[in-house]
A and B are shown apart, each in its own frame.
Chain A
Amino acid sequence: MHSPFITFVQLGFDHILDLNGYDHILFLVALCAVYTFSAWKKVALLATAFTIGHSLTLALSALGIVRFPGEIIEFLIPVTILLTAIYNVMHKNNGTSENQQLIRLNYLFALAFGLVHGMGFSNFFRSSLMPGEEGQLLTQLLAFNIGVELGQLVIVGLILGISYVAFNILKTKQREWVVFVSGAAAGVALVLMLETKFW
């Protein structure tokens, strides 16, 4: 039998890593596609911006301050994936350049899209709350967020590991890699958008 804290860490971790609901994974894939393993510090900052975004909307919803319609959010999540993928292909930044304007724009994207993903997390989180346990809400919220962060670390680590193999062992050109990964993410995002249409 687990404590509420451990239970909600596990629920958050399992939720973001759920291969049957892979939209959050796909967003992180698209977000990290333009970065090499050596740019891990920038990826860490990007992931932090994404975390700030999704933590904010998750907390607002969990505390009952705002409510988000699940069907619209499920549609908007693949929209964030598609826009990130399109942005990757459109700009020529190679992930190691010091173009500050582009980097700032990336952080802004990650933060704004994090808000949307947090709304998605909140619908799952709220549906896992037990009646009569309202006093535990903050603990459960913190634990769920920690679980999501741990899962996010695993995903980003895997993505950077795969891109390391692609660049350093398979000698893939970076631009080809970015177009390949972003194209795949965009294609899946389009399908998800069609499957989750809300009107």
Chain B
Amino acid sequence: MKNKAICLAFLLVFSVVWLGASLPFPAAHDIHLSKCQITFPVENTLDLKCHIWLDDLTAALVLNGLGDPKLLTPGEAPDANTILMKYLFSKIKIRVNGQLIQPAWVDKKASEDGLAVWIHLQAQNLGKVKTVSVTNELLRELYRDQQNIVHLKGPGSRQGYLIFEKPGQQESINF
């Protein structure tokens, strides 16, 4: 009796697997996380590097009316970098000593697994950095559980992490 029940259970699982193979359901990943690193390679220069999943980023660009620039493909739109900066500046706001900064484009590259893009921006001639304020609302228009981590290193030896998971959340650090 028990063996029969076990056979039935595994038959059920097998049936679901077979059913799954024959239906056009999309594959899903449930990691709703972006990560950015803010560093100061020299005292008055700020480097911003952001790691964003490509599928989510594309969906967000389309949702925001910026179109699909076919990032990191042979058919990438000529203005892809401009589109990316437009989106990033609408979602990430960095204030140094109270002044909103808009870092310049440096480059972008695919992550090791090819599923995400690293975007690198840089702001120079900032003067002596006393306070840094950050808001990061990347991809929040797509997912309620989106978490955006910012790793802040320096200036000087001070470093730590900020986790953004609420709308309108702003974090300030004094140096």
Interface residues of chain A, those whose CB is within 8 Å of chain B, are 1-4, 7, 10-11, 14, 18-21, 23, 70-71, 74, 79, 82-83, 86-87, 90, 123-124, 127-128, 130-133, 190, 193-199
CA distance in complex: A194, B21 (Å): 8
Assuming the contacts A3-B160, A11-B147, A20-B32, asked whether A83 and B13 have C-beta atoms less than 8 A apart, the reply is: yes
Interface residues of chain B, those whose CB is within 8 Å of chain A, are 2, 5-6, 9, 12-13, 16-17, 19-21, 23, 25-33, 35, 37, 49, 143-145, 147, 149, 151-152, 160-163, 165, 171, 173
- If over half of A's interface residues share one DSSP class (helix, strand or loop), that class is named, otherwise mixed; here it is helix
Closest 3 CB pairs of A and B: A1-B160, A7-B161, A197-B20
A193 touches B16 (CB 8 A): yes
CA distance in complex: A88, B14 (Å): 19
B173 touches A1 (CB 8 A): yes
How many Å from the CB of A108 to the closest CB on chain B?
A: 15
B163 touches A7 (CB 8 A): yes
B30 touches A199 (CB 8 A): no
Chain A residues whose CB sits within 8 angstroms of the CB of B161 once the complex forms:
1-4, 7
B20 touches A74 (CB 8 A): no
B13 touches A82 (CB 8 A): yes
CA distance in complex: A56, B20 (Å): 30
Chain B residues whose CB sits within 8 angstroms of the CB of A196 once the complex forms:
27-28
How many Å from the CB of A158 to the closest CB on chain B?
A: 19
